[in-house]
C-alpha cells in the first residue's frame, strides 16, 4: 500500500509540473509565447554555449542589446562597464525596472548536454579557466528578452515605462554597484518598482517561489595574513610560528557566532582557505586565511567583521608576533530584502495566473545576490525564484534521496523548456501587474 501511495504522489507531482508550463489563465499578453518559443530556445542555447566571465560580457551584452533594440526599445550600452539599459515608454504611468544578470562562472561543464559549453578564457589573474553558465544567467537573460517581446506586443494593455537591464558582474564582480555609480538611476528614470528572477535548483520546473523580507545574506570576503618569524621546524623555540597562530585564530573565530552573536540573528563565519609554508621542516614567515562572512542585519555584519580583526590581532599578540596581521575585506555584497507588500502583490498575481499550487513562500538563505543594491537605492524590490528541476528527477530525489546538482555545480542545467516558459510568463505578468492600466 505504501508503494502505491508513493507512486500516486509522484504521478500527481508530474501532472502538477506539466500544468505549470501550460497554465496561463487566459492572459492574452502571453498568447504569443508558444510561437516565440523556438527562437527563445535558440537564443538560450547560444548564450549557454558562449558564456563570458564577470565584467567581461562584451559579446553577451551585445547579443542582449541587439535583441532589445530590434524590439523597439531605446538601448544604451556600456553602462557600468558592459551593462545594457533598454527603455520603452508607453504613456504616463509607473516605471518598472526588470533586471537580468549576464555573467558566467569559472566552472568546467559536465552536464553531458549536446550544447554544453566548451569555452575557456583567461581570468583576471591570467590563468586559463573553463567557463560555464552554472547559475542560470543564460536563463535569466532569455526570460528578460522573452518578456520584453511580449510586453512590447501588449502595449495596448499597459501604461508607463519599462526599464530593462542586462547587468554584468553579479558573481562577485560588483556589477550592480558599478551600474548605479555610472548613473543608472540618474541618467535614466528612477523606478517605482524593481523585479528580477532567479532559477532555483531545488524545486521542480515552473514552480514559483516568493520570499517576503530577507532573501539573501550580506556576503563579505575577508583576507587575513598572519605574520610570524620563520625558521627550522626542529627549533620552533627560535621562531614565532604563524601556523599555530592561524590554527588558534580559526578556532577562536567560531566564538564570534557561537558565543558573541544572538542565536536569533543568523550568522556564518567560514574559513574556506588556509595556506602557509612549503616544506615539512620549515616554519613559514606567514600564513594566509580566506574567510567568508554571512549575515542579514547590518549591525551583525559590522560586529562579525570587527570581531575577525580583533581575534586575529589578539592571537598574534598573544604569540608574541612582531607585526599585526593584515585584515582586508576584498569583496562585499549587501543582503537582499524583498519588500513585503510588493512580494505579497506578486504572489497574488502569480497564484491567479498560474494556480496557487504552483506558488510557494520561500525561506531566506545565506547565499548572496547583488540585486540587493537596487532596493538599497530606495526602490521597492523583489527577486523571485523559478523552479528549474526536471519533474522526473525531482520526483526521484524526493523518493530515493538522489542528490540534485546545486547552483554553481558543473552538472547543473535547468529543464530548458518549462523553465524558460515560466520565467518569461512570470516576468511578463509581474510587469503588467505593476505598470499602469489604460
For the segment 157-169, what is each residue's pLDDT rounded down to a tens digit?
A: 999 999 999 999 9
Starting at the earlier edge strand, list the strands of the sheet with 218-227.
267-275, 286-295, 218-227, 326-333
For the segment 106-128, what is each residue's pLDDT rounded down to a tens digit?
A: 999 999 999 999 999 999 999 99
Q: Bigger pLDDT: 209 or 7? A: 209
Q: Is 438 in contact with 159 (CB distance < 8 Å)?
A: yes
Does the pLDDT of residue 286 top 90, yes or no?
yes
Per-residue confidence (pLDDT) for residue 63, from 0 to 100: 98
* Mean pLDDT, the chain, integer: 94
Q: Is 330 in contact with 308 (CB distance < 8 Å)?
A: no
Task: Over range 68-84, report the average pLDDT.
Answer: 98
Rounded CA separation 28/19 (Å): 18
Proportion of the chain above pLDDT 90, given as a percent: 93
Proportion of the chain above pLDDT 70, given as a percent: 94
User: Judging by beta carbons within 10 Å of its beta carbon (0-12, 13-18, 19+), is residue 209 exposed, middle or buried?
Assistant: buried
Task: Over range 135-144, report the average pLDDT.
Answer: 98
For the segment 223-243, what is each residue's pLDDT rounded down to a tens digit?
A: 999 999 999 999 999 999 999
Does the pLDDT of residue 14 top 90, yes or no?
no
Domain borders along the chain are 2-217+335-434, 218-333
Residue bearing cell 489563465: 25
Does the pLDDT of residue 8 top 90, yes or no?
no
Task: Over range 410-434, report the average pLDDT.
Answer: 98
Picking from 196, 33, 5, the residue whose alpha carbon sits closest to that of residue 102 is: 196
Per-residue confidence (pLDDT) for residue 172, from 0 to 100: 84
For the segment 48-64, what is each residue's pLDDT rounded down to a tens digit?
A: 999 999 999 999 999 99
Q: DSSP letters of 1-45?
A: -HHHHHHHHHHHHHHHHHHHTT--TT-GGGTTHHHHHHHHHHHHH
Distances in Å between the alpha carbon of 304 and those of 102, 246, 257, 261, 272?
31, 18, 8, 9, 16
pLDDT-derived band at 16 (thresholds 50, 70, 90) equals very low
Does the pLDDT of residue 422 top 60, yes or no?
yes
CATH class of 218-333: alpha beta
Q: Is 206 in contact with 416 (CB distance < 8 Å)?
A: no
Rounded CA separation 399/9 (Å): 10
Task: Over range 69-89, report the average pLDDT.
Answer: 98
Which cell numbers hold the place of 412? 547543473
pLDDT-derived band at 20 (thresholds 50, 70, 90) equals very low
For the segment 364-380, what is each residue's pLDDT rounded down to a tens digit?
A: 999 999 999 999 999 99
Per-residue confidence (pLDDT) for residue 259, from 0 to 100: 97
User: Judging by beta carbons within 10 Å of its beta carbon (0-12, 13-18, 19+), is residue 186 exposed, middle or buried?
Assistant: exposed
Does the pLDDT of residue 399 top 80, yes or no?
yes
pTM higher than 0.75? yes
Does the pLDDT of residue 190 top 80, yes or no?
yes
Q: How many residues does the chain have?
A: 438
Per-residue confidence (pLDDT) for residue 1, from 0 to 100: 35
Which residues form the catalytic set?
Answer: 103, 170
Per-residue confidence (pLDDT) for residue 192, from 0 to 100: 98
Per-residue confidence (pLDDT) for residue 164, from 0 to 100: 98
Residue bearing cell 544572538: 262
Per-residue confidence (pLDDT) for residue 173, from 0 to 100: 79
Domain boundaries 2-217+335-434, corresponding CATH code: 3.40.630.10
User: Judging by beta carbons within 10 Å of its beta carbon (0-12, 13-18, 19+), is residue 37 exposed, middle or buried?
Assistant: middle
For the segment 315-341, what is each residue's pLDDT rounded down to a tens digit?
A: 999 999 999 999 999 999 999 999 999
Per-residue confidence (pLDDT) for residue 11, from 0 to 100: 46
Vertex 123, ends 122 and 125: CA angle to 5°?
110
Amino acid at each position: 500500500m505504501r508503494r502505491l501511495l508513493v507512486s500516486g504522489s509522484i504521478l500527481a507531482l508530474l501532472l502538477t509540473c506539466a500544468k505549470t508550463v501550460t497554465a496561463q489563465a487566459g492572459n492574452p499578453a502571453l498568447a504569443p509565447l508558444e510561437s516565440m518559443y523556438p527562437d527563445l530556445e535558440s537564443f538560450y542555447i547560444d548564450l549557454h554555449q558562449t558564456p563570458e566571465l564577470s565584467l567581461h560580457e562584451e559579446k553577451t551584452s551585445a547579443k542582449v542589446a541587439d535583441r532589445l533594440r530590434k524590439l523597439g526599445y531605446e538601448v544604451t550600452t556600456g553602462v557600468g562597464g558592459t551593462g545594457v539599459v533598454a527603455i520603452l515608454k508607453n504613456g504616463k504611468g509607473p516605471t518598472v525596472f526588470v533586471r537580468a544578470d549576464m555573467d558566467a562562472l569559472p566552472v568546467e561543464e559536465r552536464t553531458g548536454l549536446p550544447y554544453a559549453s566548451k569555452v575557456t578564457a583567461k581570468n583576471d589573474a591570467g590563468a586559463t579557466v573553463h567557463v560555464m553558465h552554472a547559475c542560470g544567467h543564460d536563463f535569466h537573460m532569455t526570460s528578460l528578452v522573452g518578456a520584453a517581446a511580449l510586453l512590447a506586443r501588449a502595449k495596448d494593455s499597459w501604461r508607463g515605462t519599462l526599464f530593462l537591464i542586462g547587468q554584468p558582474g553579479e558573481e562577485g564582480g560588483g556589477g550592480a554597484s558599478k551600474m548605479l555609480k555610472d548613473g543608472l538611476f540618474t541618467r535614466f528614470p528612477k523606478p517605482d518598482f524593481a523585479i528580477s528572477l532567479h532559477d532555483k535548483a531545488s524545486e521542480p520546473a515552473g514552480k514559483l517561489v516568493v520570499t517576503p523580507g530577507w532573501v539573501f545574506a550580506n556576503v563579505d570576503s575577508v583576507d587575513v595574513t598572519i605574520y610570524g618569524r620563520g625558521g627550522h621546524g626542529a627549533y620552533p623555540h627560535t621562531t614565532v610560528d604563524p601556523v599555530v597562530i592561524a590554527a588558534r585564530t580559526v578556532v577562536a573565530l567560531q566564538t564570534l557566532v557561537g558565543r558573541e552573536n544572538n542565536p536569533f540573528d543568523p550568522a556564518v563565519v567560514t574559513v574556506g582557505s588556509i595556506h602557509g609554508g612549503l616544506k615539512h621542516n620549515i616554519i613559514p614567515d606567514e600564513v594566509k586565511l580566506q574567510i567568508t562572512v554571512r549575515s542579514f542585519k547590518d549591525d551583525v555584519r559590522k560586529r562579525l567583521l570587527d570581531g575577525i580583526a580583533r581575534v586575529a590581532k589578539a592571537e598574534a599578540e598573544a604569540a608574541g608576533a612582531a607585526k599585526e596581521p593584515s585584515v582586508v575585506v576584498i569583496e562585499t555584497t549587501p543582503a537582499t530584502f524583498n519588500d513585503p507588500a510588493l512580494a505579497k502583490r506578486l504572489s497574488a498575481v502569480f497564484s491567479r495566473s498560474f494556480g496557487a499550487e504552483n506558488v510557494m513562500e520561500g525561506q531566506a538563505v545565506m547565499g548572496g545576490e547583488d540585486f540587493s543594491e537596487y532596493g538599497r537605492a530606495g526602490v521597492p524590490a523583489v527577486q523571485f525564484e523559478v523552479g528549474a528541476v526536471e519533474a522526473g528527477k525531482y520526483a526521484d530525489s524526493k523518493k530515493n534521496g538522489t542528490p540534485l546538482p546545486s547552483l554553481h555545480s558543473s552538472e547543473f542545467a535547468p529543464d530548458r523548456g518549462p523553465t524558460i516558459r515560466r520565467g518569461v510568463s512570470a516576468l511578463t505578468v509581474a510587469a503588467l501587474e505593476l505598470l499602469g492600466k489604460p
